Amino acid sequence: MAATSKATIPSSSTIHGSISTLNNPKLLEMSYYFTILSPTDTPLFNIAFGTSKGGGDGIARFRFPETAQYMNQFIIHSSLDILEEAQWTNGGMYLKHIDTYPPAAAYITAFLTPSGARFLLLHQPPNLPSSTSTTSGLGSSSLLGTAGSTTRASSSSIAANPTSPQTEEAVRQFMNEVYENYVKTAMNPFYKQGMEIKSPVFRARVNAAGKKWL
């Protein structure tokens, strides 16, 4: 539960955090889980990846790796109710951050195509005290305290703070690029609405978009 309270802090501490530039990218790595759902809630496409900007290696490290496989899907699907409410109040395609699941510190960002397919991106900031001490040599510095570590985490990476304007913009670019590829998929006469997207080229494209923007 300590992780939860920390994860909600960054939005306020962004400004202060910009002072300290951090040379340990491991602290800033976000984990992403991206899903495309059909208008009837059938999953069409799934991909998990991590931060690539700022020296990240692009590998997802979810907080609870043993349950992430199904919990990510569960969290994403549980945000559908909120999405369906937002859908009729906001006419834009990019609906921004719509939902947060505190127990896993998961943030959900949504994009809705005009034909009703939903693109949902789950982002999860790294589990600061425990995971950093194992994944990096700077474990001692992250033990300085809650405020210290979150300030650092939110400092230099757009991905470190899931609700900042920079993140929203980066996700928007990502979503637009996926949308372009989705339209290309949909225009294929052998693809019917609601079919699973199996094309390896599509997967590679989404992966590249993730690398480029997130």
Partner 1 sequence: MAVPPRHATMQSISNGNTAQGNDRPPTQQSQQQSQQSPGLRVPSNRKTIYDRHLNRTRNAELSRASFAFLFGEMVTYAQRRVTGIQDLEKRLNEQGYPLGLRLLDLLFYRSTSTSSSALSSSSTSSSPPNRPLRIITLLHLIHGPLWRLLFGRAADALEHSVSAETANEYMITDNDPMVNTYISAPRDMNMLNCAAYVAGIIEGVCDGCGFETKVSAHNQPTELWPSRTVFLVRFGDPVMEREKVLERAGIK
The residue among 53, 50, 18, 55 whose CA lies nearest residue 153 is: 18
Choose the binding region for partner 1 from 6-14, 144-152, 155-163, 188-196 (rule: CB under 8 A): 188-196
47 — phi, psi (to 5°)?
A: -155, 140
Q: How many residues bind partner 1 (CB under 8 A)?
A: 30
Joined together, the tokens standing for residue 11 give 């939005």
Is 89 a residue that touches partner 1 (CB under 8 A)? yes
Is 140 a residue that touches partner 1 (CB under 8 A)? no
**47: alpha, beta or left? (left if phi > 0; alpha if psi -120 to 50):** beta
Write the interaction track for partner 1 spanning residues 158-177; mark x where CB under 8 A is met and - where it is not.
Answer: ------------------x-
Joined together, the tokens standing for residue 57 give 């290696």
Is 40 a residue that touches partner 1 (CB under 8 A)? no
Choose the binding region for partner 1 from 7-15, 43-51, 65-73, 181-189 (rule: CB under 8 A): 181-189
Is 195 a residue that touches partner 1 (CB under 8 A)? no
For 151-202, the DSSP string reads HHHTTS-GGGSTTSHHHHHHHHHHHHHHHHHHHHHHHSTT--TT-----HHH
Q: How far is the CB of 111 from partner 1 (least distance, A)?
A: 11
Is 2 a residue that touches partner 1 (CB under 8 A)? no
In DSSP terms, which residues pair with 26 in a beta bridge? none
Residue whose CB is less far from partner 1, 65 or 92: 92
C-alpha to C-alpha distance for 163 and 19, rounded to whole angstroms: 19
Contact residues toward partner 1 (CB under 8 A) are 39, 87-89, 91-93, 112-116, 176, 179-188, 192-193, 199-202, 205
